């Protein structure tokens, strides 16, 4: 807790703040309302209940996660954040809503999600190749197998990279390697994350029944971005694998997307996407932001984002 220069406590014996001894602004962590001169530990703007010691504690300006540690420990804190966020409910309860928000770290975390998805697709393609899938099961491998005028260039295998000498890594013509086959899935994930941000911001002053700062919404989406794209990629890979292993042929007249998915597959992906988004975001709304009607808000928001992607996929299939 912030202690005045004279060493006295800013909290009176009755538990209310002594505002004459507090020389800094105290705002609601959820909506940003100025709490100065209030006595009750409840925000009159958004209805957030809090404890005055927590609201006045200036020491809650940091956390071990990427948001606050990206300048000092970028790699370690990134992995710590991603691993912790894979368990959304526990992660939501491990962060205090009073912790200072670092927008730069959150934007970097959000922008790292597409890169993480590309690396995951590469890992899946490499696993398919090691399992002998590049010859008989090309679907995943083709995510990273662009065809150019001079032939087919595949992303270097893991064994090939590890076997390279430093001079070879510097002289290899990496510009010939394209990620075009993986881009549709990555761009769709970016589209879904952007839709979530937009819908949450639009709902923050209306159906959420309480105001929520845009920075808090950014924290929720950014922290869940890598788990969302991870589970979406794994779900898509499993569906395509199941289709390729169990149903190599399709009836005449069946519409297929460039990834080999039918309209029925696209609907299955829509349902799976909605479930993934809901499982990741509902705990953040209920346990972290503590907004009223967290279940319905999460269900509607995730449905809108998933349905927008579904409509986009159907347009690509029927185009």
| Vertex 148: Cα angle to 144 and 153 (nearest 5) | 45
Name every residue whose Cβ is closer than 8 Å to that of residue 134 and which is 6 or more positions away in sequence: 128, 141
Beta strands in 19-111 (DSSP E): none
Burial-class residue 97 by CB neighbours within 10 Å (0-12, 13-18, 19+).
Answer: buried
Rounded Cα gap, residues 293 and 207, in angstroms: 9
Evaluate the CA torsion angle 151, 154, 159, 160 in order and state its sign.
positive
Residue with tokens 């430093």: 166
Structure tokens belonging to residue 318 = 């029927």
- Distance in angstroms (rounded) separating the CA atoms of residues 224 and 219: 8
Tens of pLDDT along the chain (319 residues) come to: 444 444 456 777 766 777 777 777 888 888 888 888 888 888 888 888 888 887 777 656 778 999 999 999 999 999 999 999 999 999 999 888 888 899 999 999 999 999 999 888 877 776 766 554 444 344 444 444 444 444 333 444 445 545 555 555 444 444 334 455 567 788 889 999 999 988 887 776 554 456 788 899 999 999 999 999 999 988 888 877 776 655 444 443 333 444 556 777 788 889 999 999 999 999 999 999 888 888 888 998 999 999 998 888 787 766 5
**What is residue 206's predicted lDDT score, i.e. its pLDDT?**
53
d(CA 29, CA 76): 27
CA separation for the pair 206, 46 (Å, rounded): 11
Q: Which of 3, 5, 117 is nearest to 57 (CA)?
A: 3
pLDDT of residue 171: 46
d(CA 140, CA 181): 10
């Amino acid at each position: 807790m912030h202690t005045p220069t004279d060493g006295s406590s800013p909290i009176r014996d009755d538990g209310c703040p002594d505002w004459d001894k507090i020389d800094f602004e105290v705002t609601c962590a959820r909506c940003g309302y100025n709490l100065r001169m209030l006595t009750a530990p409840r925000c009159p703007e958004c209805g957030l209940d809090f404890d005055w010691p927590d609201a006045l504690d200036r020491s809650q300006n940091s956390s071990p996660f990427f948001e606050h540690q990206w300048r000092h420990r970028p790699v370690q804190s990134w992995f710590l954040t991603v691993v912790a966020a894979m368990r959304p409910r526990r992660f939501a309860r491990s962060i205090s809503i009073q912790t200072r928000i670092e927008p730069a770290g959150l934007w970097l975390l959000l922008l790292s999600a597409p890169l993480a998805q590309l690396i995951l697709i590469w890992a899946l393609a490499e696993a398919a190749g090691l399992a002998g899938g590049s010859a008989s099961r090309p679907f995943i491998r083709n995510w990273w197998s662009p065809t150019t005028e001079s032939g087919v260039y595949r992303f270097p295998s893991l064994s090939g990279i590890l076997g390279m000498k430093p001079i070879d890594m510097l002289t290899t013509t990496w510009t010939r390697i394209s990620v075009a086959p993986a881009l549709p899935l990555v761009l769709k994930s970016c589209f879904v994350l952007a839709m979530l941000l937009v819908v949450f911001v639009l709902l923050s002053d209306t159906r959420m029944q309480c105001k929520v700062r845009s920075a808090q919404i950014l924290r929720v989406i950014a922290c869940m971005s890598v788990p969302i794209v991870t589970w979406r990629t794994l779900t898509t890979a499993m569906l395509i694998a199941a289709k390729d292993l169990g149903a190599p042929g399709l009836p005449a007249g069946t519409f297929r997307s460039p990834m080999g998915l039918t309209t029925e597959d696209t609907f299955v992906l829509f349902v799976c996407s909605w479930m993934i988004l809901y499982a990741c975001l509902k705990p953040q709304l209920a346990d972290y932001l503590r907004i009223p009607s967290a279940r319905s808000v999460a269900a509607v928001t995730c449905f809108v984002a998933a349905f927008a992607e579904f409509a986009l996929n159907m347009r690509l299939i029927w185009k």
